[in-house]
Amino acid sequence: MQRFESDGTVKREIQVVASVDALAQCAAELMVVRAADAIRERGRFIVALSGGSTPRSLFQLLASPSFSTRIDWPHVHVCWGDERCVPPEDARSNYRMACEALLDHVPIPDAHVHRMHGEAVPAVAATAYEAELRALFDGHELHDDFPWFDLILLGLGDDGHTASLFPHGRALHELSRWVVADDIEVVSMWRITLTLPLINASRSVLFLVAGADKADVVQQILAIPSHADVSPAARVAPSRGTVQWILDGAAAAKMPSSDARDS
């Protein structure tokens, strides 16, 4: 895995793997290590999950016997990076997907699962989720009044959006709040999302990207400084942590060959 400095300060790592299965395997190994390190050093592991088909493969692998026994689940806290404003039983719910693929199959305490209430009025749900996160961190492990998540998982849309931070969306420009709701015109839906400054306060951010439809936007983002204002994902640049990209071969097809190592 090759590391390079994207803007002189932010550490960015890129790994290209052969398939979606290999991507899930690599990400699962990374999560096992991140969880063990956080629990050893701070007594708990706080992670924000993402939705989508690529994370589903990761979650299913983490729930399998070969991985589930390698994580100390009673010391894990699970949050979400974003959520659609739908009830938790809705097939579009990120919470539902994570439960079906992972959380229903591992011994994580119910009190350690911090879902976004997509069925509530969006602004109320965003305010309530920020309050829940503030209670979870309880004034500790903050950087410039933003929490230090141990790991935030992110995906990537073909328009460069990540979490529910869309190009030209109002949420992308929030500077002080941890969580906001936004009416996303391009998908005709309200979404709740963590904000960019919160994501950029994380100890570690991990992008999981698969598919040939992502090749153009991957090339655009990884060929420019991460602070450039071209897409939301390009602006993910943890000030005191790392941002890692795990890509399958199809998503990485248009990247310069010197930017990553095949594995």
Nearest by Cα to 8 from 226, 251, 161, 211: 226
Nearest by Cα to 5 from 247, 197, 226, 255: 226
Cβ neighbours of 258 (radius 10 Å): 8
| Whole-angstrom distance, CA of residue 259 vs CA of residue 247 | 12
| Grouped pLDDT means (10 residues each) for the chain, 263 residues | 47 92 97 98 97 93 97 98 98 98 98 98 98 92 88 96 94 96 94 97 97 94 63 90 94 75 48
Architecture (CATH level 2) of domain 2-262:
3-Layer(aba) Sandwich (3.40)
**In the prediction, which pLDDT does 228 show?**
52
**In the prediction, which pLDDT does 1 show?**
38
pTM: 0.93
**In the prediction, which pLDDT does 255 show?**
85
Residue appearing with tokens 């890692």:
244
Q: How far is residue 261 from each of residues 26, 193, 205, 247, measured CA to CA in Å?
A: 13, 32, 19, 11
- Both tokens of 82, joined, read 């974003």
**In the prediction, which pLDDT does 239 show?**
84
| Whole-angstrom distance, CA of residue 163 vs CA of residue 119 | 18
